[in-house]
Chain A
Amino acid sequence: MGRSSYAARIIIIALGLILAFIYIIIHLYNVQIVQHSILYPKAKKKYTAVKKNHGMRGQIYDKNGHLLVGNIPSINIRANPQLVGEKDKCRELAGFFARKLNIDPTIIFRRLATKTRKGRKICEVVIKNLVPLDEAEKIKEEVYDRKFKGIYFYDSVKRYYPKNELLANVLGFINMDQLKVVPVSGIEKAYNSLLSPIKTKASIFERSRKGIPLTYGYNKLAEGKSGKDIYLTISEPIQEIVEEELDKIMEQWKPKAAYAVMVNPKTGSILAMAQRPTFDPNNRLNMHPDAWRNRIVTDGLEPGSTMKPLVICKALDLGLVKPDTKFFCENGYWFYGGWPLRDTHSYSDIDVTTIVQKSSNIGTAKIALEMGEQRLYHLLRQYGFGQQTNIPFQPEATGILRKLKNWDKLSITRFPIGHGVLASPLQLIGAYTALANKGERMNLRIVDQIVDTETEDVYKYPVRSAGQIIENKWAVKQIIDMMKLATKQGGTAWRGSIPNYEVAGKTGTAQKWINGAYSHSKHFASFIGFVPADNPAFVLLVVVDEPRGSCYGGVVGGPAFRDISLKTLRYLDIPETKPTE
């Protein structure tokens, strides 16, 4: 073998390697450059994953930060019929889940045993959705211990109301339509746009072959933005106190409904808002549609005698009358404008103080006549009657206050005694904030602040005045003194008096307007007042719809007013205004 043959072989091998190298370069060029636009998306699809990040619905708290509506973690339990096994295994699984989850075993068995539908394999069936977390964890452990195959547990979240029936009519509730949240009533509906999370965005991230996200790789992460949290002006302990007393009213007087509202007169903040009947938003299977209507917002009632102090106070303010001005009360029967007006008792000459104390209809009507229609109408509008309040719930009753041009001769004598006017409980208590707040009416508010959990920004709802209705503080003091007398012995509201506290209260008993006439058997019994009278911590209204056994506001509403107020005063640590004897 010659030298030339070695050289030739080396040259051939070298040429071969060079050709191979050139081929690799060309192929690389082809793959990386020429076919880049075709191959890159395919590769990216392989090594990236897309995940939708869901933000959470905002939560609702009371003014002290107690959670009223939240998102409780839960688990969806699903199964793959292809993997669970044959009928024996399906039966065993169905029995197991039926015991643990309290569901019908035949339904579960049918779902697990049906492997195909319309020629297609079924790969996932629902065992149960939204199982509580601790319950689901126990089931998971047992499933793993017993080596059941094809059972999967997915994280989920459920809307939960930890206080059950407490404030249910105000908070409202939501329904789920497929994966979409449908708010039905209350705060959940009124503030749905704030509570809802921002639309979910897709996260794209590079993953390893096991699917784990790679922190160094290509990432386009978009966190889902949660909804905002809402803080109400409601105080949970006070709400509990009010609801407990309403339960007693329901038990004692068996009415159609009962409700109570408590407001801070200085700010217009609603401290409690309760009604019966009510419902448990966590358990709506047996819920009656009548139970979830918010009657305090949607219903109207004739204020009855609770209207009197509002009108008489203005008459004092205008200087038309004084506390000792006397009026002849026609001995309890007065024929005016073609119709009789009666008092519950016969009175002759009584002063304004006694008119309020004894709740004389005739006396009040005569005071209103001094005022005149124009001023009376303007006053009632200033108090907020015939208009919606600022509460965000819809629908809200505007009540009925006829326009001045539609008044007849009787109107001026009937409206001041609370007849012929329809007012919602919110309008009535809103009007009384004027008497409790030195003549200045405050706009009602139920939401205190909104908090953005992502940015921690706080948006506070301002306290707003609805106007100074009574200019003269002396007039307010006079009417309060008169209302204090009403809660003492000899007054109609004595059952609402509280030991060691001065109470300014007024009862109301109004016949219901049914089928074009006033009913003699169906009434609204109400009691409204504020405590302590000279520096009120709150205004409280109690209304009972169709009580049985008695129809008088003082008898039905008075004791509830007293008990709620006493407990609330102790909770708020308000010092006694009268020393213990």
Chain B
Amino acid sequence: MNLRARKSSVRRRKNKKNEKSLILYAGIYSFLLICLFSSVFGAALYFDGQSEKMNKRISTIDLNSYKLQREIQHLKIRLENLSRKDNIIFKIRQYHLGLQTPDPFQVVHLNVHGTNDYSGNKVVRRLAYNTR
């Protein structure tokens, strides 16, 4: 004869139910924690990626700006180089530009109001001069 008291099935079922709900709560809690960590981690990764992209863009713009400044400086110096007198005279001769002393009959004397010299005489200006 088994004289051990047996738990009633109702109480047994109730205990089992309690055990199951504990596991459930622990599971939900863990799941929520995992979700929280994942979302934070994901957000951090996302923003990090965004800032990397922006930094890369900024650096690219900086680099382009630096290259342009160098190019500008280079062109400024080239401009000064090309505006040397020997270059200009070479171009004048190359393209047969008309910068020569005029023949006397080509000079037209103008009476220009208000252009007097120190002694009050009217001044005649030459229209061209020799580059040779």
Q: What is A's interface to B at a CB cutoff of 8 Å?
A: 3, 6-7, 10, 66-67, 70-73, 133-134, 155, 160, 162-164, 166, 208, 210, 212-216, 240, 244, 532, 534-535, 567, 570, 575-580
Interface size on B, residues (CB 8 A): 35
Are the CB atoms of B118 and A534 closer together than 8 Å?
A: yes
Interface check B91, CB cutoff 8 A: no
With the chains together, A445 CA to B70 CA distance in Å?
33
The one of A72, A155, A532 that contacts B77, using a Cβ cutoff of 8 Å: A72
Interchain CB contact under 8 A, A10 and B55: no
The smallest beta-carbon distance between B17 and chain A, in angstroms, is 11
**A580 to B124, alpha carbons, bound, how many Å?**
7
30 contacts between A and B (CB under 8 A): A3-B15, A3-B19, A6-B19, A10-B23, A10-B26, A67-B80, A70-B73, A73-B70, A73-B71, A133-B70, A133-B71, A133-B74, A134-B74, A160-B77, A166-B84, A212-B52, A212-B55, A213-B59, A214-B51, A214-B55, A215-B54, A215-B58, A534-B118, A575-B115, A575-B117, A577-B118, A579-B121, A579-B123, A579-B124, A580-B124
Contacts of A578 in B (CB 8 A): 117
**A133–B69 CA distance with the chains assembled, in angstroms:** 13
Return chain B residues, CB-CB under 8 Å to A166. 84
B123's partner among A67, A208, A212, A576 (CB-CB below 8 A) is A576
A577-B118 Cα distance, complex, nearest whole Å: 7
Residues in A with CB closer than 8 Å to B122 are 579
Interchain nearest-CB distance for B67 vs A (Å): 9
Extra pairs beyond A212-B52, A215-B58, A570-B129 (16, CB < 8 Å) = A67-B77, A71-B73, A73-B73, A160-B77, A162-B84, A166-B84, A210-B56, A212-B59, A213-B55, A215-B54, A244-B85, A575-B115, A575-B123, A575-B125, A576-B123, A579-B123
Residue in chain B with minimal CB distance to A580? B124
Assess whether B73 is in contact with A577, with CB atoms less than 8 Å apart: no
Inter-chain contacts of A160 with B (CB < 8 A): 77
Say yes or no for B81: interface residue by CB 8 A criterion.
yes
Cα separation A160 to B83 with both chains bound (whole Å): 15
CA distance A152 to B15 in the complex (A): 77
Whole-angstrom CA separation of A7 from B122 in the bound complex: 122
CB distance from B15 to the nearest CB of A (A): 5
B interface, CB within 8 angstroms of A = 15, 19, 22-23, 26, 51-52, 54-56, 58-59, 70-71, 73-74, 76-77, 80-81, 83-85, 109, 115, 117-119, 121-126, 129
**Closest partner residue, chain A, to B58 (CB atom):** A215
Q: Which residue of B lies closest to A570 (CB)?
A: B129
Q: Once the chains are docked, how many angstroms separate the CA of A144 from the CA of B70?
A: 21
Residues in B whose Cβ lies below 8 Å from that of A214: 51, 55
CB distance from A17 to the nearest CB of B (A): 9
Q: When the two chains form their complex, are residues B52 and A70 in contact, meaning their CB atoms are under 8 A apart?
A: no
B84 adjacent to A576 (CB under 8 Å)? no
Bound CA–CA A244/B19 (angstroms): 109
Complex Cα distance, B52 from A70, in Å, reads: 38
Q: Could you tell me if A67 and B70 are in contact, using CB atoms closer than 8 angstroms? A: no
Nearest B residue to A243 via CB reads: B85
CA distance A173 to B80 in the complex (A): 18
Q: How many Å lie between the Cα of A172 and that of B84 in the bound state?
A: 19
- Give CA–CA (A7, B58) in the complex, Å: 58
A70 touches B129 (CB 8 A): no
- Write the nearest CB–CB distance from B124 to chain A, whole angstroms: 5
- Which one, B54, B85, B123, B125, contacts A240 given CB within 8 A? B85
Q: What's the Cα separation between A579 and B109 when bound, in Å? A: 12
Residues of B within 8 A of A208 (CB): 52, 55
Of chain B, the residue at the smallest CB distance from A75 is: B70
Bound Cα distance from A162 to B15, whole angstroms: 98
Distance of A509 Cα from B26 Cα, bound (Å): 115
A3 to B56, CA, bound (A): 60
* A567–B129 CA distance with the chains assembled, in angstroms: 9
* Chain B residue nearest to A73 in the complex (CB): B70
Q: Which of B77, B85, B117 contacts A579 (CB 8 A)?
A: B117
A72 touching B73 in the complex, CB below 8 Å, given contacts A6-B19, A212-B55, A577-B117 = yes
Partner of A155, one of B23, B70, B83: B70
Closest to B107 in A: A580
A69 to chain B, nearest CB (A): 10
Contacting residues, chain B, for A210 (C-beta < 8 A): 56
CB <8 Å contact, B124 and A163: no
